[in-house]
């Protein structure tokens, strides 16, 4: 008789949990995964996937207008939010199904119930069933963090943004990070008046300053309003259903029809029973883990946002893969967190990999930087004045490219390829030696002198 019901019990069927489950099962482990909501997790159900589809949808606002400059006879076009919303929700359902099939094909038992830890090898399901496991993997992700203030319940978060009945005429977005800037672009293109409110005057903390400044400039030019040094004081619901948002910093109260909080995400660990296995959380509620994603308890591991290492889907997937290969595949390896590329699907999008200029200066003293500040050819003909900005940060002595930062059309697509060069430690001379692909925006990367 086996000592445990399963070899691996995974809590959470998001990006990290699904990858770990199916890879462990493919290595021959008996695996069960519990999911209290929907298979696919934040990325598939209410994050990256539906967000990107809304970004595509939003882009048509400018594309249709620009088409006229390219000779197309475009009649005045109306936009129907409910058509896009329902098509996006349908696509999300399809991908959720594919995830479920992948688990089934790999003979992973999917349990659609909440599960909590009862000890180093024990899990209890909401329905009362107890399961024992040789190893437990926590992959419960994160959830939006909403600042406490009277009336905050009148707002919604990215969890609800995909189900709205209509596009709000005026929306206040709280926060100035990834989600705030992405949804500011989306709602703006759908015709909302967007006011982005942040407690500091920094948008997209962590990205290169010049690139962030360029987004701020372009977004302001497009008509998005920014209020800085404005902490939430209270939100009042008016008789007509609209909201009045009171913020600090001497700003007038802001009247709006909807309020969206995008003020960070906290690890989803509340009530998980981790104390029963002797696991203590950090001050953000995250599960501390070592380089193999092992918690303080030898039989319990954690991957993805719940560990608050890097809150990005591809990182959670790598962590799940490394965990499963190491424990069940006899192929030990660890995730390398250097040079992780990332992007913000704002309007226009921005992307970066490696060190920003400020980080590189802190680390190496002086560095060389190269920039290309240009108008994309398509924007020139379309009569759009927004300029793209590409930047290389280069080590003064070794000539190694330490970071690439860019804002402009298709920046994430271009940066993904360029990130290989930074990860590989290529030099500025290698970039210079590469012949330009003309005419393209990406050629600017090899033409900076």
CB atoms near residue 413 (< 10 Å): 13
Contact between residue 198 and residue 230 where contact means Cβ atoms under 8 Å apart: yes
Nearer to ligand NDP, 318 or 428 (CB): 318
Nearer to ligand NDP, 25 or 343 (CB): 343
Q: How far is the CB of 344 from ligand NDP (least distance, A)?
A: 5
Q: How far is the CB of 390 from ligand NDP (least distance, A)?
A: 19
Q: How far is the CB of 260 from ligand NDP (least distance, A)?
A: 10
Q: Residues 406, 367, 216, CA angle at the centre, nearest 5°?
A: 30
Q: How far is the CB of 152 from ligand NDP (least distance, A)?
A: 10
Nearer to ligand NDP, 25 or 176 (CB): 176
Give the three-state DSSP class for 295. Answer: coil
Nearer to ligand NDP, 69 or 205 (CB): 205
Contact between residue 140 and residue 285 where contact means Cβ atoms under 8 Å apart: no
**Two structure tokens written together for 298:** 């030898």
Annotated catalytic, 405?
no
Q: How far is the CB of 342 from ligand NDP (least distance, A)?
A: 5
Binding residues vs ligand NDP (CB under 6 A): 147, 175-180, 182, 198-200, 202, 205, 262-265, 311-312, 342-345
Q: How far is the CB of 341 from ligand NDP (least distance, A)?
A: 10
Q: How far is the CB of 10 from ligand NDP (least distance, A)?
A: 21
Nearer to ligand NDP, 112 or 152 (CB): 152
Contact between residue 148 and residue 271 where contact means Cβ atoms under 8 Å apart: no
Nearer to ligand NDP, 198 or 321 (CB): 198
Residue located via tokens 């707002």:
155
Strands, sheet with 156-157, edge to edge from the N-terminal-most edge strand: 156-157, 258-261, 170-174, 193-197, 225-227
Catalytic residue among 193, 246, 347, 438: 438
Q: How far is the CB of 148 from ligand NDP (least distance, A)?
A: 8
Nearer to ligand NDP, 27 or 154 (CB): 154
Nearer to ligand NDP, 295 or 311 (CB): 311
Nearer to ligand NDP, 263 or 356 (CB): 263
Shortest Cβ contact with ligand NDP: which residue? 177
| Secondary structure of 87-127 as H, E, C letters | HHHHHHHHHHHHHHHHHHHCCCEEECCCEEEEECCEEEECC
Q: How far is the CB of 159 from ligand NDP (least distance, A)?
A: 11
Active-site positions read 438
């Amino acid at each position: 008789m086996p000592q445990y019901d399963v070899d691996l019990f995974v809590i959470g069927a998001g990006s990290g949990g699904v990858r770990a489950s199916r890879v462990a099962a493919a290595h021959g482990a008996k695996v069960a995964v519990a999911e209290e909501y929907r298979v696919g997790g934040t990325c598939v159900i209410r994050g990256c996937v539906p967000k990107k589809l809304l970004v595509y949808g939003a882009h048509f606002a400018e594309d249709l207008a620009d088409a006229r400059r390219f000779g197309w006879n475009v009649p005045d076009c109306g936009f129907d939010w409910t058509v896009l919303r329902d098509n996006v929700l349908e696509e999300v359902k399809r991908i959720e199904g594919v995830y479920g099939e992948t688990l089934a094909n790999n003979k992973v038992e999917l349990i659609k119930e909440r599960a909590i830890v009862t000890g180093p090898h024990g899990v209890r399901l909401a329905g009362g069933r107890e399961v024992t496991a040789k190893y437990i993997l926590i992959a419960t992700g994160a959830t939006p963090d909403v600042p406490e203030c009277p009336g905050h319940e009148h707002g919604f978060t990215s969890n609800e943004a995909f189900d709205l009945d209509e596009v709000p005429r005026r929306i206040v977005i709280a926060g100035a990070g990834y989600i705030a800037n992405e949804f500011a672009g989306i709602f703006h293109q759908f015709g909302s008046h967007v006011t982005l409110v942040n407690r500091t005057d920094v948008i997209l903390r962590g990205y290169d300053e010049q690139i962030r400044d360029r987004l701020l400039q372009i977004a302001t030019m497009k008509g998005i309003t920014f209020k800085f040094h404005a902490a939430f004081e209270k939100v009042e619901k008016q008789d007509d259903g609209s909201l009045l948002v009171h913020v600090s910093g001497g700003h007038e109260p802001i009247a709006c029809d909807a309020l969206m909080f995008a003020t960070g995400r906290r690890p989803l660990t509340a009530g998980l029973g981790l104390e029963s296995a002797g696991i203590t959380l950090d001050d953000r509620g995250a599960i501390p883990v070592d380089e193999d994603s092992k918690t303080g308890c030898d039989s319990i591991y954690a991957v993805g946002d719940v560990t608050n290492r890097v809150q990005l889907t591809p990182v959670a997937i790598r962590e799940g893969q490394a965990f499963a290969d190491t424990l069940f595949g006899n192929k030990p390896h660890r995730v390398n967190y250097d040079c992780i590329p990332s992007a913000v699907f704002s309007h226009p999008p921005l992307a970066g990999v490696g060190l920003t200029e400020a980080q590189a200066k802190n680390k190496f003293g002086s560095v060389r930087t190269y920039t290309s500040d240009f108008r994309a050819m398509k924007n020139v003909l379309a009569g759009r004045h927004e300029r793209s900005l590409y930047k290389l940060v280069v080590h003064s002595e070794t000539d190694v490219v330490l970071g690439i930062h860019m804002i402009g059309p298709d920046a994430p697509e271009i940066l993904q390829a360029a990130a290989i060069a930074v990860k590989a430690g290529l030099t500025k001379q290698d970039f210079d030696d590469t012949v330009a692909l003309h005419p393209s925006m990406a050629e600017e990367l090899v033409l900076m002198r």
